Structure 1
Amino acid sequence: MKILIAPDSFKGSLSAQEVANSIERGILKVCPSAEIFKIPMADGGEGTIDAILEAKKGRKVAIQAKNPLGKEILASYAILEQENTAIIEMATASGLPLLALEERNPLKTSTFGTGQLIQNAWQNLSGASPATIVVCIGGSATNDAGAGMLQALGVQFLDENGKEIQVCGGNLKEIKKIEVSNFHKPAHIEFIVACDVTNPLLGEKGASAVFAPQKGADPEAVQILEENLTYFAGLVENTFPNLKGLQHQQGTGAAGGLGYGLMAFLQAKMQKGVEVVLGITQLEHVIKKFSPQNRDLVITGEGAMDFQTVFGKVPWGVAKLAKQYHLPVIGIAGTLGKEHHILYQHGFDGLFAIVDRPMSLQDAMNQADMLLEHTAERVMRLYMLSYSL
């Protein structure tokens, strides 16, 4: 019997690798001879680099970069030499968790540090063959349409006197000219944005209206940010007529408009985060070896599974792939939330919550390792029983 364990992390409690290890221990109590494949997963958010490096041979590169407010910090990204690919989590340089609550203000923040990571990555990738940079853009503290990132890559934003502006979310309307003579995108590098957000740049579903309040913006600031993004998009699309209408495309509002900057200047392609990770980890190559006739099984999960899981979360992606090969799929979660039953219509044959008695959320998080192991043991006892009936 082959068993694939491909979970996301239980955020705030266990990494994806730790989740997989706990599930493995529970399985081996029941099926000590099972052939187990552990592939930690992620959906393009926090932990994506670590999950990929558990599955693929690569290394982390740490550099000095600016945080959202311009303070020098140590930020890192991953290089997969064999694939000639770099994986960047923008939150490591431009993320909300880098700022204290009182520092969070998208009028003042910038994606400059993300640009520094990108620049360092394209210098480290081999020019002898096609290369890829994957930018995971969850958890941002910014609302600058990626202007800060572009500035780090050589784009100059000039004021009415021809002087360069150090851009941030609050001063985009001061830009009168965009100068790209010092911006040189390597032709051999393809950019992919790992992102599940489909919001456009502007409007009631745009970056400012939907996400800026989560980053510290009050209603007045939201209005200023919206006006600034509107102005900036107009300037970009007037300067480069081939970009007309880009602001309306899905995903351009992700990460405070970073999606817009990546698509406009780096011709980045949007992909669901879990699909990017599935591709890089080559999960399908493992699943192809499985057979339902041999009682082979796929187990996935994350901290909470509910109706939102089908909108590009790891368990959904793993189940969707497994069902292409007619394999049974079990989901294990810290909690099964609202309308989780709809997951039975999306490839899941069984769903299990790890909490086995009344307890607080904190106790459940503290004991997640043991609870996962016990749940996996119960799952396997039931699974094996089904074959003996």
Structure 2
Amino acid sequence: MNILLCPDSFKDALSAEQAAKAMANGVLAAAPHAQTCCCPLADGGEGSLDALIAATGAERYEITVQDALGRPRKAAWGWLGEQRTAFIELAEASGLQHLSTQERDALHTSTFGVGELFLAALDKGAKKALLLLGGSATNDGGAGMLEALGAKLHDAQGNPLPPGGAALVSLEMLDLSGLDPRLASLSVEAAVDVDNPLLGKRGASAVFGPQKGATPEQVATLDQALGRLADISARVLGEDYRDLRGAGAAGGMGFAARAFLGATLKPGIEMIMQQAKMPELLNNADLVITGEGRLDGQSLAGKTPIGVARAAQRLGKPVIILAGSLGDGWQACLDEGVTAAFALADGPMTLEQALPRTAELLAARCENIIRVWINQPTP
């Protein structure tokens, strides 16, 4: 009996790798001779770098970069030497999780540190980069990243723009002649888990700006600023990417990745499953168990468990989802290849009570699932 365990992280409780190990403990408690395969996954958001490194055996490096507010911080990135491929997670440099609630400032936060991670990858000899765009604290349309890579953004008086998205209102000149020439031979894929355009009611500023500290007035300013970046970029590049699906991801980094790095935008879970060789793993599995912190109707937009279920469905493999909670509309997931879904709680409890017990609860659910599985009557 081969059991494939491929969860995402359980936010504030377990990394994807820790969750997979807890699941394996439960499986082996019920069936000591079962073959378990742990393949931690992610959908491009926070924790995706760790999932990629765990799934591929990539080397992990750390460098000092600027965080979203320009302060030094250690940021990790991954390296697959044989493929000359770098894994770059935006959140490692410019992530919201590195800022306190009081520090969230969508007007002034910058993606400069992401550009520094790209430079480290280029110095290593990268020919391909997987850019993971979740968890951003920024709304600068990738302007900071461009500056780190050698571009110049000036106002009408020829002055360099200060960091942050709000300053783009004054953008008059975008000079790309100084971009690192090694970028021309770098193939980039950007993982996105949203399909929002750059601007408007569904754009980066309106939808994601408030969680990064933006007031309604600041959202309007930021939307105008990104519009200015789009106008100037279209003039310089001869192409306009503001309406591209996913352009609004990570405060407009989806836009920047496509417009300036020539990136292909694709769902994060598909990118990570490809690197983890999921078709091969699924083909060898008798049962698949996946999960994450919450399962609801929004999960169909590209969350890890649904990506796994859709891939497994094509091979006729049963999939069980374990979630911290089942929210409104989760039943729609049953039409996407999900065999069954269960919440973790074993009784009434608050979130604060549940979080420290997540590993225990995961193991217990997996143990019970396997006991049912191995005791099914033979047809």
Shorter-chain TM-score tier: over 0.9
For residues 238-253 of structure 1, the aligned pairs below 5 Å read 238-241=235-238, 243-244=239-240, 246-253=241-248
The two structures, once aligned, show a CA RMSD in angstroms of 1.5
Q: Deviations over 1:140-179 (max 9, x none)?
A: 1111111111010001112333343334212113222111
Judge conservation of contact 2:171–2:228 (CA < 8 Å) in 1: no
Q: 2:305 is matched with which residue: 285, 298, 315? A: 315
Judge conservation of contact 1:86–1:133 (CA < 8 Å) in 2: yes
Aligned residue type for 2:373: Y
Classify the secondary structure of the residue corresponding to 1:186.
helix
Aligned residue type for 1:297: L
Classify the secondary structure of the residue corresponding to 2:242.
helix
Judge conservation of contact 2:194–2:301 (CA < 8 Å) in 1: no
Aligned counterpart, 1:365: 355
Judge conservation of contact 1:157–1:167 (CA < 8 Å) in 2: no
For residues 330-369 of structure 1, the aligned pairs below 5 Å read 330-369=320-359
Q: Deviations over 1:191-228 (max 9, x none)?
A: 11111111111111111111111111112211111111
Name the stretch that deviates more: 11-20 or 336-345.
336-345
State how many pairs are aligned: 378
Q: Deviations over 1:246-268 (max 9, x none)?
A: 11111111111111111111111
Equivalents in 2 of 1:368, 1:102: separation in Å? 29
Q: Deviations over 1:312-343 (max 9, x none)?
A: 11111111111111111111112222222222
Aligned residue type for 1:335: S
Equivalents in 2 of 1:343, 1:153: separation in Å? 42
State the shift of 1:230 in Å. 1.2
Equivalents in 2 of 1:197, 1:81: separation in Å? 30
Aligned counterpart, 1:258: 253
Name the stretch that deviates more: 159-168 or 364-373.
159-168
Equivalents in 2 of 1:185, 1:237: separation in Å? 23
Equivalents in 2 of 1:41, 1:303: separation in Å? 13
State the shift of 1:44 in Å. 0.8
Say whether residues 1:203 and 2:193 are aligned partners.
no
Equivalents in 1 of 2:155, 2:297: separation in Å? 47
For residues 179-258 of structure 1, the aligned pairs below 5 Å read 179-183=175-179, 184-241=181-238, 243-244=239-240, 246-258=241-253
Equivalents in 2 of 1:191, 1:363: separation in Å? 42
Unaligned ranges ≥5, structure 1: 291-295
For residues 10-25 of structure 1, the aligned pairs below 5 Å read 10-25=10-25
Aligned counterpart, 1:31: 31
Q: Deviations over 1:107-162 (max 9, x none)?
A: 11111111111121122135xxxx32111111111111111110100011123333
Aligned counterpart, 1:282: 277
Say whether residues 1:158 and 2:148 are aligned partners.
no
Percent identity over paired residues: 39
Classify the secondary structure of the residue corresponding to 1:271.
strand
Name the stretch that deviates more: 264-273 or 357-366.
357-366
Name the stretch that deviates more: 100-109 or 318-327.
100-109
Judge conservation of contact 2:183–2:261 (CA < 8 Å) in 1: no
Judge conservation of contact 1:86–1:125 (CA < 8 Å) in 2: no
Q: Deviations over 1:235-256 (max 9, x none)?
A: 1111222x13x11111111111
Equivalents in 2 of 1:99, 1:27: separation in Å? 38
Equivalents in 1 of 2:338, 2:377: separation in Å? 18
- Classify 1:174/1:185 alpha carbon distance in 2 versus 1 (closer, same or farther; 3 Å): farther
Equivalents in 2 of 1:372, 1:197: separation in Å? 28
Unaligned ranges ≥5, structure 2: none
Judge conservation of contact 1:56–1:281 (CA < 8 Å) in 2: yes
Classify the secondary structure of the residue corresponding to 2:184.
coil
Aligned counterpart, 1:9: 9
Equivalents in 2 of 1:368, 1:167: separation in Å? 40
State the shift of 1:388 in Å. 4.5
Aligned residue type for 2:267: K
Aligned counterpart, 2:319: 329
Q: Deviations over 1:273-303 (max 9, x none)?
A: 100110111111222234xxxxx11111111
Equivalents in 2 of 1:348, 1:181: separation in Å? 50
Q: Deviations over 1:31-74 (max 9, x none)?
A: 21111111111111111111122121222221111111111221
Judge conservation of contact 1:8–1:314 (CA < 8 Å) in 2: yes
Classify the secondary structure of the residue corresponding to 2:183.
coil
State the shift of 1:387 in Å. 3.3
Equivalents in 2 of 1:360, 1:163: separation in Å? 53
Equivalents in 2 of 1:342, 1:161: separation in Å? 55
Name the stretch that deviates more: 220-229 or 261-270.
220-229
Judge conservation of contact 1:89–1:137 (CA < 8 Å) in 2: yes
Equivalents in 2 of 1:374, 1:161: separation in Å? 65
For residues 64-143 of structure 1, the aligned pairs below 5 Å read 64-126=64-126, 131-143=127-139
Name the stretch that deviates more: 102-111 or 158-167.
158-167
Classify the secondary structure of the residue corresponding to 2:298.
helix
